[in-house]
Chains A and B, each alone.
Chain A
Amino acid sequence: MRVLIAARGEVAVRIARSVRSLGWEPVTVYTRGDRGSPHVRAGLFSIEVPSYTDVDALVEAAEKAGADIVHPGYGFLSENPVFAEKVLDAGVAWAGPSPKAMRLLGDKWEAKRLAEKLGVPTVPWCRAGSPREAERCAERLGAPVVVKASRAGGGRGMRVAAGPEEAAEAYRLVAEEARRGFGDAGAVFVEKLVERPRHVEVQILGDGQGRVVHLYERECSIQRRRQKIVEEAPSPLAERLRGLRERLLDYALRLGESVDYASAGTVEFVVDERGNAYFIEANTRLQVEHGVTEMVTGVDIVEQQLLVAAGRELGVRQEEVRLHGWAVEARLYAENPWEGFRASTGVVAAWRPPEGVWLRVDHALEPGVRVDPGYDTLLAKIIAYGRDRGEAVSRLHAALRDTVVAGVETNLDLLRVVAGSDWFLRGEFHTATLEERLDELLAEAERRRMIAAEVAGRLGNTPAAAARGPGLVEWHGWPWPPSRW
């Protein structure tokens, strides 16, 4: 079997790994600017394409490569049913759900209606066709509200409005954003804002013939403007609130079964403090944070996607899926938190990934890799495993302290401070916590960096022992590294 991976970066490398472990052959694609990227070497060979979103070029590459399956990764065309159809029309299997299921679940509006039909709770909403209607919706639902384009995503096409008047203004901006980003505005709807919500999502796997299993839930409440930053499995909230997990799993399976879901998918919910869960959307693809689920269930999600695409049986039975321990993931982004998280560019000068038995680092980094602002800013995912949450979090914190990236501004300093925070350790957070505490977290990160810079500046003037020539090393300053100061 040969698999064309229509993705770049860490996810292309990660998918190639599963393809090879099945004894199959991975083939990757690259654009001119990505010639030297590690994912190019992850395949048996790699084919140049004009762009990762050029549907025809990718289908042609699949044919040229003699691929049996196309795996779209995440991002780019992974949720584009037109691409899936063209792949299938070319006689190549698609490592994802059917285009029909992608259409149904991919449109937030359609998915919401489907959920309501199935008895899955959704956030109270109202459809708006004009600023005036948005205002009336906000009055009816009660502010604060969120104004969303049906095709919103990644923080785009969404606005929070504190009152009816602001809802009208938000409507104008959202409709304009949707027109620019997605071609047409689509439907815009106004939703009641769930305050202090936590983001919990369920991983599902289906065989396309009616059998759908779940791989438990993940929590991704540490986010900034809907960009997830730290994720974990299982969810601390689901662990704490009795009955919540069972409800979420049941809702997710209902949705998956209703569309004869094939391959991997995620059903996302927001959950308020009392445990009221509302379906928000379904993602018909591999999720960035799938790794934490793999760590606690032992199931290779990509491998299952590939098996299903190859027409084999799903290799997982529900009764075999169990939760073992805890996994926490931190996303290393090429973004400068001190500059409003703007994307940073540059060439990676040094990269020292953390090492350890209980760690998994998914990345496609090496010195010399150019970080291109035209693509997603995700550089690496650092995942730590432990028997319980405390163990996993302290291993993540240690791993982040060991990580070194140079040449590109990243959010690493911020991640370190978050992983070492009391509130994070206690699992007391919601989706706005990071934003609310940002100034305090950045001030601490900056303070530490400043001390390091002062020390480094001073050491620069001190002749190092190494420079004095080799000598007998009698003492290394153990224990190292020191954990506190």
Chain B
Amino acid sequence: MAGPGRRQGGSVRVVEVREEAPGVYLVVVEEGGERRSLRVRARDGVLETPWGSYHVSDLRGRRGGARRSRGGWLAEFSEAEGAVRARLPVRVVEARVEPGSRVSEGDVVLIVETMKMLNEVRAPCSGVVEELAEPGGGVAAGGLLFRIRCG
């Protein structure tokens, strides 16, 4: 699953906010160098926009968007660490490679079970797999699935 990979934080800027009526605002936003104005209403913690209403508590900490990261939904790959970690609790069913073996990007390294479905965890890069979670065991969210030395 490739991420959209665009629209990083900072591409939208609020240029002007003017209260037109109680709780009704005219907002000018700049996006990719283009300015557009829109009218929003804020009431009881809800922000109503032309494309839908949002609860303000739900928008907090969301500025900058892009919540999808590398490694897919099941696993997370940290390049600095060379570690692939589980995003949610999984059970390791089978290891397809031995520690020390060389894999190509996209090769299946582990088969894990989550939400009663079996899923393949693939190598995020070509390299050497160094350490693997034990088949039969569980891995908590954030736990190590395997380590890989890229290159």
Contact = CB atoms under 8 A, between A and B. Distances in A.
A454 interface: yes
Contacts, number: 182
Contact of B52 (A156, A338, A401): A401
Contacts of B88: 342
Contacts of A420: 51
A162 interface: no
A239 interface: no
Interface in B66-103: 66-68, 72-74, 87-88, 93
Contacts of A404: 46, 53-55
Nearest to A446: B65
A387 interface: no
B107 interface: no
Interface string A400-439: 1111111100001100100010000000000000000001
A162 to B, nearest CB: 15
- Name, among B60, B65, B88, B113, the residue most crowded by chain A CB atoms within 10 Å (CB to CB): B65
Given A177-B116, A456-B56, A340 B50 contact: no
A342 B21 contact: no
B1 A340 contact: yes
- Name, among A177, A401, A447, A455, the residue most crowded by chain B CB atoms within 10 Å (CB to CB): A455
A113 interface: no
A343 interface: yes
Contacts of A352: 46, 53
Contacts of A462: 17, 19, 25
A82 interface: no
A454 B24 contact: no
B36 to A, nearest CB: 7
A420 B113 CA distance: 36
Nearest to B51: A448
B33 interface: no
Interface residues of B, number: 64
Interface string A205-225: 000000000000000000000
A466 B36 CA distance: 26
A173 B5 CA distance: 31
Interface in B31-71: 31, 36-42, 45-60, 62-68
Contacts of B73: 339-342
A446 B116 contact: no
Interface string A452-485: 1111111110101110000101111100111111
- Name, among A458, A462, A464, the residue most crowded by chain B CB atoms within 10 Å (CB to CB): A458
B113 A449 contact: no
A465 B19 contact: yes
B4 A416 contact: no
The 8 A-B pairs with the shortest beta carbon distances in the complex, nearest first, are: A340-B73, A406-B55, A477-B24, A465-B22, A443-B4, A485-B38, A450-B65, A401-B52
Interface of A: 155-156, 173, 176-177, 180-181, 338-343, 349-350, 352, 400-407, 412-413, 416, 420, 439-440, 442-443, 446-460, 462, 464-466, 471, 473-477, 480-485
Given A176-B118, A446-B67, A466-B22, 19 more contacts: A177-B118, A342-B87, A343-B115, A350-B57, A407-B57, A407-B58, A449-B59, A450-B63, A452-B52, A452-B59, A454-B12, A456-B47, A457-B63, A459-B42, A462-B25, A464-B23, A465-B23, A477-B20, A480-B41
Interface of B: 1-4, 6-7, 9, 11-14, 17, 19-25, 27, 29, 31, 36-42, 45-60, 62-68, 72-74, 87-88, 93, 111, 113, 115-118
